[in-house]
């Protein structure tokens, strides 16, 4: 049976209230990033850029059922359909960009400057990928199927009469990207677990960019001298060794006896290269901000897309059937993503700032 006017009114209230909370979350992200220099690492910057894309997303969900009520051929419905085709997909792609940054930082030792250089590429690729189909669909119309953007009860998006396009250009890419992000985080997780087991890290474990150089000043960043992730190890409680390419182990405990906590890295070294410690302070990368924060964003994203996907599958199996509880879940979760993003951004960011403050006090760095 079709939904009653009271049910539609409730759906509109739920969706708009969630949208307001999301807009406040986005505003919090933008305001915090601008006002505090402590929230400006590469992951924070990606979240900040994505916040502007989210504003358009939640503008569309604020329109809510007013789009379908206006009619499929109206400017309001077509505008809402364009926004909901472009910006939710962009949000998923920005989550992929965060996962790529984490992967590059862990496996290829990209520092903040190297990651920052990727931002314009991310903007160009993501905007092109989502804008091209979204603007194209505005001009697709046939007498049999009508406009491609049409009523979906809660809002206007790709019409059920164009369901194949909705699978190919919307849900298909979204879940493909989600799977890719899951794979990247699994690889990062396995690498971190392997290093944690190998070096028996302390509870304050973090990723540190390489700070060891050879005696002849050959940088280990050279392709022929690949460096694995540098980690923090407590030399008082565990012996630490550096393994050379021929399997020989040379203890470095004597070199590190003056400090209770030191930065060590395993490297594939040429036999002629002796090892010395560079006294420059290593570049610290907070585990919470470079790994945990984007992972939490991904979990929020995953929760966001479960209800809409189940709703689409249900509509595909039972055409014409509308589940009111499921639509409530879609309206709430689909419009509340910005709020959770703001909560994660502030909570993890503040904890990361406290961690850096403790680290500076412990190491005596500024």
Query: Do 233 and 318 sit in the same domain of this protein?
Result: no
Q: By mean pLDDT, which of 95-104, 122-131, 167-176, 262-271 is the weakest?
A: 262-271
Selected residue with higher pLDDT from 291 and 234: 291
For the chain, give the mean pLDDT: 77
In a domain, 137, yes or no: yes
Q: Is the pLDDT of residue 339 over 80?
A: yes
Buried b vs exposed e over 57-83: b needs ≥16 C-beta within 10 Å?
Answer: bbbbbbbbbbbbebebebeebbbbbbb
Q: Are residues 75 and 166 in the same domain?
A: yes
Do 263 and 311 have their domain in common? no
Give domain status of residue 204, yes or no: no
Q: Is 243 in a helix, a strand, or coil?
A: strand
Residues 93 and 140 in one domain: yes
Rounded Cα distance, 45 and 30, in Å: 10
φ and ψ at residue 264, rounded to 5 degrees: -125, 150
Give the separation between CA 23 and CA 78, rounded to whole angstroms.
22
Q: Which residues contact 226 (CB under 8 A, 6 or more apart)?
A: 220, 267, 268
Helices 172-199 and 293-317: crossing angle, nearest 10°? 150
Residue with tokens 């905007």: 127
173 and 297 in one domain?
A: yes
User: Are 271 and 178 members of one domain?
Assistant: no
**Helix segments in the chain, DSSP class H:** 5-35, 42-63, 66-70, 75-107, 112-116, 119-137, 163-166, 172-199, 287, 293-317, 324-335, 337-363
- List phi, psi (to 5°) of 338: -65, -35
What lies within 8 Å, CB to CB, of 144 at 6+ separation is none
Q: What is the pLDDT of residue 177?
A: 95
Query: Would residue 200 count as lying in a domain?
Result: no
3-state DSSP assignment of residue 1? coil
**Long-range own/partner contacts, residues 246-255 (CB < 8 A, 24 or more apart):** 246/271, 250/275
Q: What is the pLDDT of residue 171?
A: 92
- pLDDT above 70: residue 276: no
Residue where one domain finishes, among candidates 245, 265, 282: 282
Residue 216: the pLDDT is: 33
Residue 199 lies in a domain: no
Let me know whether 236 and 154 are in one domain. no
138 lies in some domain: yes
Q: What is the CATH number of the domain that holds 138?
A: 1.20.1070.10
**Residue 262 β-bridge partners:** 233
Instruction: Please report whether residue 205 resides in a domain.
Output: no
From residue 168, how far is each of 116, 171, 176, 318 by CA, in Å? 32, 7, 11, 20
Q: What is the number of structural domains in the chain?
A: 2
Phi, psi of 156 (to 5 degrees): -95, 130
Domain-located, residue 97: yes
Give me the domain span that covers residue 225. 210-282
Residues 43 and 83 in one domain: yes
Q: What is the pLDDT of residues 118-139, one digit of tens each?
A: 999 999 999 999 999 999 999 9
My answer on whether 246 and 162 are in the same domain is no
Q: Are residues 142 and 19 in the same domain?
A: yes
Considering the domain architecture, whether residues 221 and 271 belong to the same structural domain is answered as yes
Residue 205 has pLDDT above 70, yes or no: no
The Cβ of residue 280 has, within 10 Å, a number of other Cβ atoms equal to 8
Final residue before a domain boundary, out of 230, 263, 282: 282
- Looking at 266, 282, 298, which one is the last position of a domain? 282
Is residue 68 located within the same domain as residue 171?
yes
> Does any domain span residue 201?
no
Count of other CB atoms within 10 angstroms of residue 109: 22
For the chain, percent of residues with pLDDT exceeding 70: 69
Residue 214 pLDDT > 80 = no
Q: What are 277's strand-pairing partners?
A: 212
8-state DSSP, 238? S
């Amino acid at each position: 049976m079709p939904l009653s006017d009271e049910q539609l009114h409730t759906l509109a209230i739920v969706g708009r209230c969630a949208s307001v909370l999301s807009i406040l979350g986005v505003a919090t992200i933008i305001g915090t990033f601008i006002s505090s220099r402590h929230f400006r690492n590469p992951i924070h910057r990606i979240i900040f850029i994505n916040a502007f894309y989210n504003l358009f997303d939640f503008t569309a969900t604020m329109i809510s059922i007013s789009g379908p009520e206006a009619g499929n051929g109206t400017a309001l419905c077509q505008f809402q359909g364009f926004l909901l085709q472009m910006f939710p997909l962009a949000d998923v792609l920005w989550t992929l960009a965060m996962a790529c940054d984490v992967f590059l930082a862990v496996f290829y030792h990209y520092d903040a400057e190297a990651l920052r250089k990727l931002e314009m590429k991310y903007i160009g690729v993501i905007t092109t990928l989502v804008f091209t189909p979204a603007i194209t669909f505005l001009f697709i119309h046939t007498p049999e199927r009508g406009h491609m953007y049409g009523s979906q009860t809660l809002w206007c998006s790709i019409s059920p009469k164009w369901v194949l396009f909705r699978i190919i250009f919307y849900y298909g890419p979204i879940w493909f990207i989600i799977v890719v992000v899951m794979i990247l985080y699994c690889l990062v997780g396995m690498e971190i677990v392997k290093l944690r087991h190998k070096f028996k890290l302390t509870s304050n474990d973090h990723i540190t960019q390489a700070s060891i150089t050879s005696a002849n000043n050959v940088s280990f960043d050279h392709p022929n001298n690949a460096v694995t992730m540098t980690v923090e190890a407590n030399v008082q409680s565990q012996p630490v060794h550096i393994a050379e390419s021929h399997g020989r182990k040379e203890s470095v405990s004597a070199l590190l006896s003056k400090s209770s906590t030191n930065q060590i890295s395993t490297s594939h070294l040429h036999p002629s290269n002796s090892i010395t410690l560079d006294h420059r302070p290593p570049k610290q990368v907070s585990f919470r901000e470079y790994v945990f924060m984007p992972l939490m964003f991904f979990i929020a994203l995953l929760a966001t897309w479960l209800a809409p996907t189940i709703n689409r599958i249900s509509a595909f199996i039972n055409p014409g059937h509308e589940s009111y509880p499921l639509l409530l879940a879609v309206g709430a979760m689909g419009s509340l993503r910005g709020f959770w993003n703001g909560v994660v951004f502030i909570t993890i960011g503040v904890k990361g700032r406290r961690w850096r403050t403790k680290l500076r006090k412990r190491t005596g760095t500024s």
